């Protein structure tokens, strides 16, 4: 069988946390929509989150499937059904167990790929084995980097930088002069440098981003790394209907009609959306400060609270540890706000005209979704590369204000010693939501970027063109292979 007669097979291997898995799955669906035969590797519990979208694509004759491998819960010492770094990982011990399970699963991913090789691999950059495995199979490997290029370049610039003992410093060798108030945890930067440099050995990287947002950092990245980058996002724009945006992965804790009808009752740009992503967990004391700051700001809001799912066992005394007495009932009676405990339909909310600001942890998916919706941000980074993303928002593009967090945690359950007080929260909210000149300028700039994001995925746009070029290159590479090598891949 000749190379042109067999469909091109592309395998996607995600890192099992929603912030990595969801955008990579959405990018995989873009390839399937172009006729590429896509297989997405996952585990049973994670497959349940993706199955509905897969079934929809299959019904539309898009060639996508799931390859489901058993998650090694018993070997990792955790209960069955906990298979990513969000669902059920409620404490540091369980989180450690999930990480152990993912490490065991890496070998099983590789074994499955070796048994039935594809034409190309797309692997999360967290896994540093992609290029070696691809070399064994004589196929190309593409790394998926879940950051933005600005953050990748910042991490690269600091790899041999002599950090000051304390106090602010300038990140060296970047196109912009970027000031950091304090240094990142050494463990984080060193771990990221090793993974980023391992990704240089692949045949390029893809990103859930659009070229106009990273700007000159695409050229800067290719200069310092000698590595090709392709922006093919924002991936979230694959969702068109309200139902798709609501049921993107996890089941929403608030009904679509309830959320939309409340927002419909509000004036344009009058509501603040507050959400710190899937992995941030604040102390009760910090949640109390957030509630107090929102209340004193007088702004209407939707506040998504992770780790505080509604249970019949929560007493009034326990509730008052993390919000003022009567707070939830008061904002509901006065029609001032909604408190959502658990997962929220973020794309649906951000896209509503009533949303005028977004208080965010600066995880990359949330950043690109906020920008795509044209919403200015209040930046509250917590861990990982979020502090670099904050600088892209506030110092490079000028589309947000910093709340002033003073602690760079290593991971989800670290940190919490330095509180962001209610007065700083109130000040930041008023700065974005008060309709002043600075707020209007931010709104104008982010609106222009949002327009460019939508144009990027249209035919002829930068991301659409990048995806076309990448698919063309991959197919040409396979056509150039000797026939006997192609037939081995068919076995």
Q: What is the pLDDT of residues 30-76, one digit of tens each?
A: 999 999 999 999 999 999 999 999 999 999 999 999 999 999 999 99
In this structure, is residue 151 part of a structural domain?
Answer: yes
Q: Are residues 151 and 273 in the same domain?
A: no
Task: Residue 403: name the closest of 287, 290, 303 by CA.
Answer: 290
Instruction: Compute, in degrees rounded to 10, the torsion defined by CA atoms 345, 351, 356, 362.
Output: 60
In a domain, 2, yes or no: no
Instruction: Give phi and psi for 66, each to the nearest 5.
Output: -105, 135
- Assess whether 428 and 470 both reside in one domain: no
**Judgement on whether residues 222 and 315 belong to the same structural domain of the protein:** no
Indicate if the pLDDT at residue 483 is higher than 60. no
* CB 253, CB 341: distance < 8 Å: yes
Q: Once rounded to an integer, what is the mean pLDDT over residues 346-356? A: 95
Range of the domain at 202: 9-237+456-490
Over 50: is that where the pLDDT of 487 sits?
A: no
- Whether residue 489 has pLDDT greater than 60: no
Residue found under tokens 């991490």? 155
Q: Is 162 helix (H, G, I), strand (E, B) or coil?
A: coil
CA distance 339 to 352: 17
* Residue 167 pLDDT greater than 50, yes or no: yes
Task: Name the strand (E) or helix (H) holding 486.
Answer: helix 483-490
Angstrom distance (rounded) from CA 334 to CA 290: 19
Same domain, 219 and 268: no
Residue 393 and residue 478 in one domain: no
How confident is the model at residue 256, as a pLDDT? Answer: 77
pLDDT of residue 278: 72
Residues 140 and 62 in one domain: yes
Tell me: pLDDT of 365 over 90. yes
pLDDT at 426: 98
Q: 471: helix, coil or strand?
A: helix
Instruction: Give me the mean pLDDT over the 178-191 stretch.
Output: 89
pLDDT band for 416, please (50, 70, 90 cuts).
low
Q: In total, how many domains does the chain have?
A: 2
CATH of the domain at 156: 3.40.50.2000
In this structure, are 110 and 202 located in the same domain? yes
Contact by Cβ (8 Å): 366, 342: no
Peptide bond into 410 cis (omega under 30): no
Q: Mark whether 334 and 257 lie in a shared domain.
A: yes
Tens-place pLDDT, residues 105-144: 999 999 999 999 999 999 999 999 999 999 999 999 999 9
- Among candidates 467, 468, 474, 475, which has minimal Cα distance to 3? 475
- Taking residues 278-295, report their average pLDDT: 90
Q: Residue 1 domain-assigned?
A: no
Is 29 found in the same domain as 119? Answer: yes
Across the chain, what does the average pLDDT equal? Answer: 90
Residue 231: per-residue pLDDT: 97
Sign of CA dihedral 469, 223, 189, 170: negative
- Whether residues 137 and 262 share a domain: the answer is no
pLDDT at 252: 66
Classify residue 392 by its DSSP letter.
I
**Which element (helix H / strand E) includes 224?**
helix 217-225
**pLDDT classification of 1: cutoffs 50, 70, 90:** very low
Q: Which range, of 24-33, 90-99, 270-279, 286-295, averages the lowest pLDDT?
A: 90-99
Instruction: Please indicate, yes or no, if residue 242 is contained in any of the structural domains.
Output: no
Residue 203 placed within a domain: yes
444 shares a domain with 476 = no
CA angle 260, 283, 382 (to 5 degrees): 75
In this structure, how many other beta carbons lie within 10 angstroms of the beta carbon of residue 206?
24
Domain co-membership, 221 together with 332: no
pLDDT digits (tens, 9 = 90+) for 218-255: 999 999 999 999 999 999 998 877 777 766 656 666 77
Q: 480 lies in a domain?
A: yes
Q: Catalytic site residues?
A: 20, 124
Select from 217, 194, 192, 198 the least CA-distant residue to 207.
217
Structural domain includes residue 243: no
Residue 165 covered by a domain? yes
């Amino acid at each position: 069988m000749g190379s042109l007669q067999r469909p091109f097979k592309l395998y996607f291997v995600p890192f099992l946390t929603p912030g990595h898995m969801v955008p990579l799955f959405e990018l995989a669906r873009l390839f399937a929509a172009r006729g590429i035969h896509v297989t997405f590797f996952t585990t049973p519990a994670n497959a349940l989150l993706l199955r509905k979208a897969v079934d929809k694509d299959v019904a539309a004759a898009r060639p996508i499937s799931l390859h489901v491998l058993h998650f090694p819960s018993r070997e990792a010492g955790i209960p069955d059904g906990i298979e990513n770094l969000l669902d059920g990982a409620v404490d540091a011990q369980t989180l450690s167990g999930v990480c152990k399970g993912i490490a065991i699963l890496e070998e099983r991913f590789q074994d499955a790929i070796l048994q039935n090789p594809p034409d190309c691999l797309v692997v999360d950059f967290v896994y540093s084995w992609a290029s070696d495995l691809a070399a064994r199979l004589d196929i190309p490997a593409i790394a998926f980097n879940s950051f933005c290029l600005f953050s990748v370049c910042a991490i690269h610039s600091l790899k041999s930088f002599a950090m000051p003992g304390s106090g602010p410093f300038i990140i060296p060798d970047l196109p912009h002069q970027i000031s950091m108030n304090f240094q990142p945890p050494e463990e984080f930067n060193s771990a990221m440098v090793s993974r980023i440099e391992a990704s240089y050995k692949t045949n390029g990287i893809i990103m859930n981003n659009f070229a106009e947002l990273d700007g000159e950092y695409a050229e800067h990245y290719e200069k310092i790394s000698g590595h090709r980058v392709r922006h093919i996002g924002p991936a979230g724009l694959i969702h068109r209907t309200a139902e798709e945006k609501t049921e993107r992965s996890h089941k929403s804790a608030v009904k679509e009609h309830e959320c939309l009808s409340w927002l419909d009752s509000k004036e344009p740009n009058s509501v603040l959306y507050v959400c710190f992503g899937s992995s941030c967990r604040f102390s009760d004391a910090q949640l109390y400060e957030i509630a107090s700051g929102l209340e004193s700001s007088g702004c209407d809001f939707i506040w998504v609270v992770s780790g505080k799912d509604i249970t019949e066992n929560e007493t009034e005394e326990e509730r008052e540890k993390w919000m003022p007495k009567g707070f939830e009932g008061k904002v509901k009676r006065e029609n001032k706000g909604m408190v959502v405990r658990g997962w929220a339909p973020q794309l649906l909310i951000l896209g509503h005209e009533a949303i005028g600001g977004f208080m965010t942890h600066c995880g990359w998916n949330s950043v690109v979704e906020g920008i795509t919706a044209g919403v200015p941000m209040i930046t509250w980074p917590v861990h990982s590369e979020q502090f670099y993303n904050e600088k892209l928002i506030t110092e490079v593009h000028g589309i947000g204000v910093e709340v002033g967090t003073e602690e760079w945690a290593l991971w989800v359950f670290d940190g919490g010693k330095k509180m962001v007080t209610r007065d700083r929260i109130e000040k930041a909210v008023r700065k974005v939501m008060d309709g002043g000149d600075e707020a209007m300028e931010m709104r104008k700039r982010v609106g222009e970027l949002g327009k460019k994001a939508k144009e990027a995925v249209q035919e002829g746009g930068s991301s659409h063109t990048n995806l076309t070029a990448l698919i063309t290159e991959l197919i040409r590479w396979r056509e150039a292979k000797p026939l006997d090598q192609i037939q081995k891949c068919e076995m």
